Amino acid sequence: MCGRYGLTIDQETVAATYEVERLLFNHEPRYNIAPSQDVPVLLDDERGRRVEGFRWGLVPFWADDPKIGYRTINARAETVAGKPAFRNAWKRRRRCLVLATGFYEWQKPASGKGPKRPHWIRLADARPFGFAGLWERWDGGGEPLYTCTILTTDANELVGPIHPRMPVILGERWSWNAWVDPEVAPAEAEASLAPYPAEEMHAQPVSTYVNSPRNEGPQCIELDEG
């Protein structure tokens, strides 16, 4: 799964990196983004290419209670088209790019005992990228609620020793553009849902400071050699 990540660049860099026409969500560099928070997502449809803020944890249109979003922060790529919570968004091509510069996974100790060790995982050249995401609109509470989920896949050779799953990473502009383009059919978009090449990624252990979602700042991603 992917339960914590970062977008450590400022708003101006977001606009330049993702070639955005409009920024509709104010963003400061974040090092410890957690579920249920509003997160920057890239959309490209009849309303133009833009960044909006959607709550992380997809709430299906049919949900009675938005708290379902706590259980839908991730969607398995292998089953997303058929799962009730996600199939409407998938069928309607409600694809978005969840903007990121890295993510965290927690590794169990080899002995099986003791606390898990967090790792910060990013692209080897440290450039920004995107997670393949889906979004949905929920109208059950008066004002529309826009939410999103991050798709996951099997871990590659780098991430596997840390965690068996990893988010679907889209690292190049052509892949971003194809994913958010509603003209691209679901069957074609499905080809993007594969593990990112391990040799193009980097992972490092970090301190348990990141364990609390209340903690924020560059300290979250500092190398911990202990």
In the predicted model, what is the mean pLDDT of the chain?
A: 95
- Across the range 182-186, mean pLDDT stands at 94
Per-residue pLDDT at 135? 98
**Does the pLDDT value for residue 226 go beyond 80?**
no
Classify burial at 64, counting beta carbons within 10 Å of its beta carbon; exposed 0-12, middle 13-18, buried 19 or more.
exposed
DSSP secondary structure code for residue 200 in this structure:
G
Is residue 142 a part of any domain in this protein?
yes
Is residue 150 a part of any domain in this protein?
yes
Active-site residue flag, 220: no
Is residue 106 a part of any domain in this protein?
yes
- Across the range 180-190, mean pLDDT stands at 93
The H or E element spanning position 131 is strand 129-138
Contacts of 129 (CB under 8 A, 6+ apart): 100, 101, 123, 169, 170, 171
Per-residue pLDDT at 110? 85
Catalytic residue among 52, 96, 105, 148: 105
Is the distance from CB of 144 to CB of 44 less than 8 angstroms? no
Is residue 226 a part of any domain in this protein?
no
- Across the range 105-112, mean pLDDT stands at 90
Is residue 211 a part of any domain in this protein?
yes
Is residue 64 a part of any domain in this protein?
yes
Q: Per-residue pLDDT tens for 127-148? A: 999 999 999 999 987 899 999 9
CATH at 180: 3.90.1680.10
Active-site residue flag, 105: yes
Domain of 121, in residue numbers: 5-221
User: What does the DSSP assignment read for 64-78?
Assistant: S-GGGGGG-SEEETT
Count how many domains the chain has: 1
Closest listed residue to residue 76, CA positions, set 132, 139, 160, 10: 132
Is residue 127 a part of any domain in this protein?
yes
Q: Where does the pLDDT of residue 112 fall: very low under 50, low under 70, confident under 90, or very high at 90 and above?
A: confident
Per-residue pLDDT at 140? 87
